[in-house]
Amino acid sequence: MKLKISWDTRIGLGIIILGIFILINSFSLPKSPLGLGAGDFPMIISYGLIICGLLLVYQGIKKTEETVKLYSFKDLKKIFLLTLLCFLYVYLVSYIGFLYLTPFLMMATLYLFGYKKWIFGVIISIVFTILVYYVFFSIFKVPLPLPSLF
C-alpha cells in the first residue's frame, strides 16, 4: 500500500515547523517581571499553530480520497474585494479610528461571506468591536488607533 501525502498533510507539517520556529525564537525575547512579557504572545500563538498543524496532519492522513475544490470567478472576486477592503482598513484606521471603522469592515466581511440578516449583522459588528476594544485597550493595555481627522 502506497501512502499518499495530501496537500493538507504537507501544509499541516509546514504549519507545525513554523510554530516550532516561532516557539524557539520566543524564548530569546525578554521576560517581564510582572505580567505578560514580549515573548508570551508569540509563545501562545506558536502553541496554537502547532496544535492546528497537528489537527491538519491528522485529517490529511485520515482522509482517503483526494478532493479537489475549484474556485469560481465569483469566489475569487470576493477574495480580492476582501483583500482590498483590508488594505483600505489598515490605511484608514489611523485617520478614522478603530471604534468607528471596524464595524464597517465587520459588516462588509459578513456580507461577503453570505450573511444576509442586516440587523443581526450590525449588532454583531458593533458588539464584536466593543468587545475587542475592551479586551485590548482595558485588559491588555494596547493602545488602539483613535480618530485623528481634526
58 and 94 within one domain? no
Question: What are the two backbone dihedrals, phi and then psi, of residue 118, each rounded to the nearest 5 degrees?
Answer: -65, -45
What is the number of domains present in the chain?
2
1 within domain boundaries: no
Give the pLDDT score at 110. Answer: 92
Per-residue pLDDT of the chain (150 residues; tens, 9 = 90+): 556 677 788 899 999 999 999 999 988 888 877 777 777 888 999 999 999 999 999 988 887 665 566 778 888 899 899 999 999 999 999 888 888 999 999 999 999 988 989 999 999 999 999 999 888 888 888 887 777 655
Give the pLDDT score at 18. Answer: 94
Give the pLDDT score at 5. Answer: 73
Closest residue by Cα to residue 125 from 105, 144, 146: 105
Question: What are the two backbone dihedrals, phi and then psi, of residue 33, each rounded to the nearest 5 degrees?
Answer: -70, -25
77 and 134 within one domain? yes
Say if pTM beats, i.e. exceeds, 0.85.
Answer: no
Give the pLDDT score at 41. Answer: 86
93 and 43 within one domain? no
Give CA–CA dist 9/73, Å, rounded: 27
- Residue 84 structural domain: 73-139
Q: What is the DSSP letter of 34?
A: S
Give the pLDDT score at 101. Answer: 93
Give the pLDDT score at 40. Answer: 83
